[in-house]
Amino acid sequence: MAGPAAGEVVRTEEHTVRVVTLAAGLAHPWSLAFLPDGRMLVTERPGRLRFVRNGTLDPQPVDGVPPVHPFGQGGLMDVALHPRFAETGLVYLSYVARDATGYGTEVARGRLVGHRLENVRTIFRMQPKSGGGRHFGSRLVFDRAGYLYVTLGDRGEPERAQRLDDHAGKIIRLHDDGRVPDDNPFRDRPGARPEVYTYGNRNVQGAALHPRTGVLWAHEHGPQGGDEVNVIRPAVNYGWPVITYGVNYGIGTQIGEGTAKPGMAQPVYYWVPVSIAPSGMAFYDGDRFPRWRGDLFVGALAARCLVRLRLDGERVVREERLLRGTLGRIRDVRQGPDGYLYLLTDEPNGVVARLEPADR
């Protein structure tokens, strides 16, 4: 579908922006990645990987995507490029796979050649799999050393997040080929899954590297209230479901042991009493919006907006909600190589939208 369309102008605290629809007609788009030649790769939850170029959605999906089993909240989810993509051509995908025991998140990589992924290989399989349709995660982030982080949800079974012999409710860390790094914090602990980097995470659907420090930040869905932003460090227990600022759905009763416990991390920021349902996140360090430099942007599904967080080190000092009533459910947010912000909407007819400055 051809775009881009003329954009709606929206005033925010720091900038006036134009919201331009670049491409529409996407079935629940989940993630995007920017190719060096100017094209974008966009995942659709039902299992398709698409090209978008110059505001046009290629009608032919990319061939060679591994088998995806859309189920409940999951399907084809994140897409990421190898840090040396220009040399390797490698594309990474996270998606829901099925085996005899149920469903779970897996990660595969393949070489992008023309309109096809070749030499596709699965490099991670979540274990154990299970039958529920909730909380698959999943974001893929490479750090500056080339390690790959994969975020996972608790699969709707909260107690699994505290078990080190279970991938559910964890962030894992791998080499780019799926091998386990020698310095992973639980590699040598008997009974623990060696891929585990952090635990006690409910459902992480946003992760990004801080542009100055290179440290991984992530957010996760809380229950009723209690969505969190966290700084990710090895071996840390982020508390779910022992501690949380959220409450049980519908009845508002306490979950676990309260909001704090020794040995469990406190979030950098959290949303109460109403969840925003965060998905996707990006630090802004471009030149198009100079007064946003250093800010953290979070897509919001339930709140149907884009959240801007102003930071002072690892402390959030201000929140602004942008684009309320403009786009709807925002699934992903990315800074493009051109310095614009790009958004995906989680809709049956989802769009790729771009924020451009309208105050110059």
Distance of CA 359 to the CA centre of its chain: 30
Cβ proximity of 200 and 239 under 8 Å = yes
Cβ proximity of 359 and 334 under 8 Å = no
Which residues, in sequence order, are bridge partners of residue 282? 297
What is the enclosing helix (H) or strand (E) of 85? helix 85-88
Distance, CA of 67 to CA of 137 (rounded, Å): 18
Distance of CA 211 to the CA centre of its chain: 17
Cβ proximity of 271 and 222 under 8 Å = yes
CA atoms within 13 A on the CB side of 192: 20
Catalytic residue, from 28, 135, 219, 221: name it: 135
Q: Nearest Cα to 76, choosing from 34, 128, 32?
A: 32
Distance, CA of 173 to CA of 353 (rounded, Å): 31
Task: At 64, list the tokens.
Answer: 């060679």
CA dist 101 → 127, 131, 197 (Å): 10, 7, 25
Is residue 135 annotated as part of the catalytic site, yes or no?
yes
CA dist 312 → 271, 294, 333, 344 (Å): 18, 9, 21, 28
- Return the active site residues: 135
